[in-house]
């Protein structure tokens, strides 16, 4: 899987990964993985969505699955990945990914040097904690449906 991501990066594909913990892929290697960005988020919830969003040529495809991309899971377990067709569910899945990519309080940038520094807000930007923001979002959605 790592080799395929490196191949995609070499072809100019921008790749953003949200990981919970370990990641054997090394981002930022010139000519190999310079189109790959990795953020690791460890926060209040043991949450690591298996949501995959692929966008090429203006077409977006969203998948959800049970496996992370560790060889033991892909080779020795029964795991599933399925496309998401419902437009509302697709938007919800993309929201979860977007919130994770925007996190500037719990997200650590996984770099090629092993520094793994906390991601910083853009200049003048507000700090953003993805899990708290999602919690608030769903709480507001729930309250709105009760009214």
C-alpha distances in angstroms, 14 versus 91, 116, 117? 20, 20, 21
User: Is the confidence at residue 114, as pLDDT, over 80?
Assistant: no
Those residues whose C-beta lies under 8 Å from the C-beta of residue 84, and which sit 6 or more positions away, are: 62, 63, 64, 90, 93
What pLDDT is recorded for position 77? 85
CB count within 10 Å of CB 57 equals 5
**For the residues 44-51, what does the mean pLDDT come to?**
81
What pLDDT is recorded for position 20? 77
Instruction: Dump pLDDT digits (tens) for 51-97.
Output: 999 988 788 999 999 877 777 777 888 888 999 999 999 999 999 99
Looking at every residue in the chain, the average pLDDT score rounds to: 89
Query: What is the distance between the alpha carbons of residues 65 and 77, in angstroms, rounded to a whole number?
Result: 13
User: Is the confidence at residue 99, as pLDDT, over 90?
Assistant: yes
Domains and CATH numbers, the chain: 2-146 (3.30.870.10)
Instruction: Dump pLDDT digits (tens) for 11-37.
Output: 999 999 998 777 888 998 999 999 999
User: Is the confidence at residue 46, as pLDDT, over 80?
Assistant: no
Those residues whose C-beta lies under 8 Å from the C-beta of residue 65, and which sit 6 or more positions away, are: 50, 52, 79, 80, 81, 82
CB 19, CB 39: distance < 8 Å: yes
pLDDT class of 140 with cuts at 50, 70, 90: very high
Instruction: Look up the pTM and report it.
Output: 0.86
């Amino acid at each position: 899987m790592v080799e395929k991501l490196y191949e995609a990066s070499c072809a100019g594909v921008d790749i953003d990964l949200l990981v919970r913990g370990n990641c054997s892929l090394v981002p930022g290697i010139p000519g190999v993985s310079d189109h790959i960005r990795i953020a690791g988020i460890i926060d209040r919830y043991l949450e690591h969505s298996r949501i995959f969003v692929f966008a090429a040529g203006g077409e977006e495809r969203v998948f959800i699955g049970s496996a992370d991309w560790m060889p033991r899971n892909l080779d020795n377990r029964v795991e599933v990945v399925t496309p998401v067709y419902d437009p509302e569910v697709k938007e919800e899945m993309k929201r979860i990914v977007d919130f994770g990519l925007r996190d500037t309080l719990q997200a650590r940038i996984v770099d090629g040097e092993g520094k793994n520094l906390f991601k910083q807000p853009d200049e003048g930007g507000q700090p953003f904690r993805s899990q708290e923001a999602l919690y608030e979002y769903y709480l507001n959605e729930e309250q709105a449906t009760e009214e």
